[in-house]
Structure 1
Amino acid sequence: MSAIPQPSRPAPRSRNTFAQAAAKTTATPETVEPEAAATPSAAPATAARSATSPATPRQRKAASAPVKPTSEKKRKAQTTDILLSLEEELKDRMVAALEHTRPRTGIKSQQVFIRTAIDQLCTKLETQYNNGEPFPAPADEIAI
C-alpha cells in the first residue's frame, strides 16, 4: 500500500444550496474556514498552503468585486423562450452548416442561426403570400 494518504471526498453537491454557495463566495477571508481544519486527513502541503492563504483567489476576487443586482439579466428586451425539438439529423445538419459557413456569414451561435433562419423564412412567406407585409396577429380564438 502507498504512503500517500487518500484525498478526502468533497461533500455531495445536492446538499449545497444557492444560499450556501453565495455565503461562501461573499465571506471575508477571516470567516472562511481553512481546508486543513475542515478535513483532518488533508496532506501536509495542503495544510501549509491553507495556513498562508485562507481564501482562494476566487473568494478574494468575489469579495472585492461589486455585487450586481439580481434583477439584472443578460437577455434582450422583448424576448420570449420557446422549446424547440429537432430530429438529430436536422440538428447535425445545422451544426455542420454553421461551422462551415461561420467565416462567411459571421453567425457564431446556434441561437443566432435559428433566429436568422426564422427571419428569412418569415420574410420569404410574407413576400410570397402577403405582398411583403408582415402577417397580422392571429385572432384570439385561434390556438397556435
Structure 2
Amino acid sequence: MSTASSIPTPSLGGRRRSSIAQAAQTNQQAEPAEAPSGVAAPEARPAPRGPRIAAPVPARPDRGSGPQDGEGPIKKILLSLPQQDKQRMVSTIVWARPHTGIKNQQDFIRQAIGELCDRLEAEYNGGQRFPDVAE
C-alpha cells in the first residue's frame, strides 16, 4: 500500500479566498448571457430618488419598537403571504425608506401591526389595549 495520496493538492495561490469572493470574481469575468430569441430582456428598475436623510420613525410610548422594549422575550412566528403582497411590501419598503426610516421587512411588519392595533383599539375599545387572551 502506498502512503502517498493520488489526490492532487489544490493550489491556493498563496492566499485563501472565500467562495463569495470567488463567485464575484467569476461573475465579473463571465460574458453576459444573451436572452433567448423572441424573449425581451427585463428592464432595469430606476433607483429610488428622494432625500438622503431618513426621517425618524416616531416612537410609541405605549409599547416598544421591538426586542429592546423590555416587555419580555420575542416570540418568533412564521408568516405566509401571497407573492403579490410580498412584492408590494418589498417595493414599498425600498421606495419609502428615505421617508420612513424602515429598512427591513421585520420592522415594516412590526410597525404595520402596531398601527392596525392602535386603530382598532381606538375604534372599538376607547383607545385602550384589549385585555390579553390565552394563546
Structure 1-normalised TM-score? Answer: 0.48
- Alpha carbons of structure 1 residues 135 and 39: separation in structure 2 relative to 1, 3 Å: farther
Task: Give the Cα separation in 1 of the matches to 2:17 and 2:9.
Answer: 20
Determine if the alignment matches structure 1 residue 79 to structure 2 residue 74. Answer: yes
Letter matched to residue 78 of structure 1: P
User: 1:7 — aligned with what?
Assistant: none
1:32-51 superposed matches below 5 A? 40-42=7-9, 45-46=11-12, 49=14
Deviations 1:90-131 (A, max 9, x none): 001101111100011000000000000000000000000000
Q: What SS does structure 1 have at the residue aligned with 2:14?
A: helix
Q: 2:127 aligns with which of 102, 116, 132?
A: 132
Task: Give the Cα separation in 1 of the matches to 2:124 and 2:99.
Answer: 30
Structure 1: gaps spanning 5 or more residues: 1-36, 51-55, 59-74
- More helix as a share of residues: 1
- Alpha carbons of structure 1 residues 88 and 39: separation in structure 2 relative to 1, 3 Å: farther
Provide runs of 4+ in structure 1 moved above 2 Å. Answer: 37-40
What's the RMSD between the two structures over aligned residues?
Answer: 3.0
Task: Give the Cα separation in 1 of the matches to 2:14 and 2:5.
Answer: 14
Structure 2-normalised TM-score? Answer: 0.50
Determine if the alignment matches structure 1 residue 117 to structure 2 residue 84. Answer: no
User: 1:101 — aligned with what?
Assistant: 96
Identity %: 40
